[in-house]
Amino acid sequence: IGMGNGDMLVGAHTYTWAVVGYWGVIIFMACMLFLITQRSNLMSQLASPKPQVKKLSFYATCVAVLSFLVVCSNAIQALYLNGLPPNTGKGIPDRFEFDYGKMSKTHTAAVWDRLKHFSLTGKNVIEDPWIKDLSEPEDVSIKPSFINGAVYEAPVLKKVNEIPLALYEIEKRTESPILSVARNEQTGELAFVTNELGVFFTDPKATKVTGFVVFDKPNGADMKYVVGSAYDGNRLFFVSHNKTLAGVQKSDRPIDPVLEFKTFRETTGNFNPVFGKSRKLLQSIRGKHSYINSMATDGKYIYTITLPNRWTQKLVLQKFDMDDWMLSGESLIKPASTLTLKEGRNLDDYYVSGLTYHNGKLLALSPRYSSLLFINPQTAEVEKVYELKGLIAPRSIYVKDGIMYVLDWRDGRNYLVEIPLPNASEMPSSSTNNLYTSEAERKAFLEEEKNDRPAGTLENQNSSEPKEGSVEGTRTEPIEVKTPANPQHSDSAREQEKISRAAEQPEERVSNSNPSTQHGQKQGSEADSMPNEFD
């Protein structure tokens, strides 16, 4: 408010008065045309079939000459101020000076540079974010090799385990892939978000869906690609690439049926939208011409990192206050003084697809250059960089007990990949499935692993037929799902499911002769054998 160029004249800038004068003349001429009557002399002349040519009066001649002189003087002044071609002007005009030598020093021809990337829409249309097998713009190239990045060398973080997700009914129900995962620090439950705005809650082991809700995607603010999610207490937030935010939380109280109908397409009940029937638009300034591909929260702010595109080659760390959902700060991401980059390189071309808040730092995963960046959220400085091994197309991350879990996508399937973080006080063994939360479960898992049968490759496990008597061959009762008109749980189905699970007996297995692959095959076999929760 109150900004502008030059001094104001009678409460407005001179260029504002030019607009007022222009429209004033247009309105005045329109009013004059309304005053012409049918019997007036002017109307008879206009309606005459024979045009009448009048001689210019002395007054009309003077007006024409003066108008021509004014136009010529304006043209000369414009050339003098802006420069002869190819000069096209200057940003902020200087005061008028008859010394052309001084005036010419500020002339510029920068306007012609716009023709190199001519576009009728300009910066308002950019390429979509890169998401493997869902959105792969031709203009976006993901180079996974770490040596192509800006950092000379860095410590390597390798995966120690991977768990194939056997939650096929999630994607089947929404007919869209899982794009994000978040963990509730209070309860340990996981939430998987699909691209059709389906939110599926599971137990900490990601083996059983405990509830879900599917938002009405088309009827609301545009959320074409879901790119990130995060928990704040018991509230789950997820965001799209255009910074549109939605949220859901469990509630013991029934939801208003009208609100439920307007917001959800399907639900298992007892879920409330955080923002009612609306969605929040996270509006920024420095990053307004960029998409995002991740999000995180520390309970006070929502953090996002922009993606580089053909118009804007900057990484911007944005934080939005969760009290009013307004922009609280934006900073260009830069290396810390202790981080050495290659000569002539910067961090602007890193492509962050996973973001989480852990121990006061932001962990940003970039599939381009296979890097994990430790970012100080206060200064937007990258303090450490690590090289990642064993990932194909990472989409989302979260941290539990010093282990970073990466939602990775390959061969048409999702995996939870475990990567130990540096400086962890307790580093779980690579042979332990860290989704098991108790020591008793871990020991039982290792004991069962001793009698494991040959499982072959993950692909062979996926294509194998269920055997009689195995968990795969057992049918469980599905959770009853109804439309928002009457969303209720089926208690009998849950009880039947518990009875069915208690009656199941694991089949006998033979030890794998290859100890290096035994654990990965075991995990794939167990994940594939998990019963589907929906029919």
- The DSSP secondary structure of 310-375, one letter per residue, reads SS----EEEEEETTT--EEEEEE-EE-TT--B-TT--STT----EEEEETTEEEEEETTTTEEEEE
More confident residue, 212 or 487: 212
| Higher-confidence position of 225 and 527 | 225
The single-letter DSSP state of residue 437 is -
Q: Name residue 146's amino acid.
A: F
- Whether the pLDDT of residue 300 is over 90: the answer is yes
Q: Which residues contact 438 (CB under 8 A, 6 or more apart)?
A: none
Residue with tokens 């802006």: 82
Would you list the DSSP string of 13-43?
A: EHHHHHHHHHHHHHHHHHHHHHT--TTSHHH
pLDDT: which is higher, 207 or 510 = 207
Between 485 and 442, name the one with better pLDDT: 485
pLDDT at 480: 53
Cβ 177 vs Cβ 198: under 8 Å:
no
Question: Is 479 a residue whose pLDDT tops 70?
Answer: no
pLDDT value at position 33?
Answer: 86
pLDDT band at 354 (very low <50, low <70, confident <90, very high): very high
How far is C-alpha 488 from the chain's CA centre? Answer: 33
Beta strands in 4-118 (DSSP E): 8-9, 12-13
Q: How far does the chain reach from its first CA to its final CA, in angstroms?
A: 59
| Window from 39-43, 371-375, 396-400, 511-515 with minimum mean pLDDT | 511-515
The answer to whether 233 and 189 are in contact (CB under 8 A) is no
| Dist CA 446 CA 442 (whole Å) | 6
Residue matched to tokens 């961090």? 347
Higher pLDDT, 24 or 98: 24
Q: Percentage of residues in the chain with pLDDT exceeding 70?
A: 78
Question: Is 321:280 a contact under the CB 8 Å cutoff?
Answer: no
Least confident of 248-257, 392-401, 427-436: 427-436
DSSP codes joined into one string, 233-244? TTEEEEEETTSE
- Cβ partners under 8 Å of residue 271, min gap 6: 211, 213, 248, 249, 250, 251, 255, 264
Q: What is the pLDDT averaged over residues 436-442?
A: 44
Q: How confident is the model at residue 112 (pLDDT cuts 50, 70, 90)?
A: confident
Q: How far apart are CA 236 and CA 226, in angstroms?
A: 13
State residue 444's pLDDT score.
52
Q: What is the pLDDT of residue 500?
A: 46
Q: Span 514-531, mean pLDDT? A: 40
The whole-angstrom distance between residue 367's C-alpha and the CA centroid of its chain comes to 15
- Helices and strands counted in the chain (H then E): 10, 26
Whether residue 90 is predicted with pLDDT greater than 90 in this model: the reply is no
The pTM assigned to this predicted structure is 0.69
Q: Which pLDDT band holds residue 107 (cuts at 50, 70, 90)?
A: confident
Q: Which residues are paired to 480 by β-bridges? A: none
Nearest alpha-carbon partner for 376 in 448, 455, 319, 434: 319
pLDDT band at 513 (very low <50, low <70, confident <90, very high): very low
Mean pLDDT of 505-517: 39
**What's phi and psi for 112, nearest 5 deg?**
-65, -20
Closest CA to 164 of 402, 464, 505: 464
pLDDT(5) > 80 = no
CA dihedral 319, 322, 323, 327 (to 10 degrees): 30
Contact 419, 394 (CB under 8 A): no
Residues 29-44 have pLDDT tens digits of 999 888 888 788 878 8
* Residue 158 backbone class (left: φ over 0; alpha: ψ -120 to 50; beta: rest): beta
pLDDT for residue 19? 94
Q: What is the mean pLDDT of residues 152-179?
A: 86
Check residue 202 and give its pLDDT: 94
Q: Which residue has the higher pLDDT, 481 or 49?
A: 49
Chain-centre distance for alpha carbon 18:
43
Rounded-to-integer distance, Cα 496 and Cα 484, Å: 24
Residue 42's contacts (CB-CB under 8 Å, 6 or more residues apart) are 36
Q: Is 522 helix (H, G, I), strand (E, B) or coil?
A: helix
What's the mean pLDDT when you consider all of the chain?
80
